[in-house]
């Protein structure tokens, strides 16, 4: 499945290049590359890449918004649309659910299936607002390796 997913430099949870003990860059392949690309798309602000202004998401815009039904639905739709934008994602397989949202931050769970895979990939997106600083952590719920 490497042809479907391609290869890329593996990124850490902090989106830094992973380096092996011998100093060489670690490469991702297969589903891991697809999951990494989805995480990167959600974390990158939409329009911030000069070479691809359609890459990214508006997730950052929701960080300090009030938790209302309309805002929750809009955030869930934004995450689902950006995950579905990956051409390796099975059409109709994406779901997102906001599980927590208050003045300290928000948590949302996203799930999707890649084409040709028999199990979904899952991410938990946590955005925490503390002392006027914003930190975003995207972590896997289930690994697909």
What CATH number does the domain containing 95 carry? 3.10.450.40
User: Cα–Cα distance between 48 and 41 in angstroms, integer?
Assistant: 11
Give how many domains the chain has, as a whole number: 1
| Pairwise pLDDT comparison (22 vs 3), residue with the higher score | 22
Q: 77 is in which domain, residue-wise? A: 2-142
The fraction of the chain above a pLDDT of 70, given in percent, is 88
CB-CB contact of 104 with 63 (8 Å) = no
Distance CA 135, CA 113 (A): 27
Mean pLDDT, residues 44-69? 91
Structure confidence by residue, pLDDT tens digits, 105-123: 889 999 999 999 998 999 9
Q: What is the pTM of this model?
A: 0.83
């Amino acid at each position: 499945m490497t042809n479907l997913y391609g290869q890329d430099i593996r990124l850490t949870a902090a989106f830094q290049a992973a380096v092996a003990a011998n100093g060489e860059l670690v490469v991702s392949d297969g589903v891991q590359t697809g999951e990494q690309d989805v995480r990167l798309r959600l974390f990158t602000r939409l329009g911030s890449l000069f070479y691809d202004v359609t890459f990214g998401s508006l997730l950052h815009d929701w960080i300090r918004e009030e938790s209302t039904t309309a805002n929750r639905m809009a955030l869930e739709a934004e995450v689902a649309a950006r995950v579905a934008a990956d051409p390796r994602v099975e059409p109709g397989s994406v779901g997102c659910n906001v599980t927590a949202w208050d003045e300290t931050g928000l948590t949302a769970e996203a799930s999707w299936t890649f084409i040709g895979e028999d199990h979904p990939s899952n991410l938990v997106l946590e955005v925490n607002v503390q002392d006027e600083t914003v930190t975003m952590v995207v972590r896997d719920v289930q690994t697909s390796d």
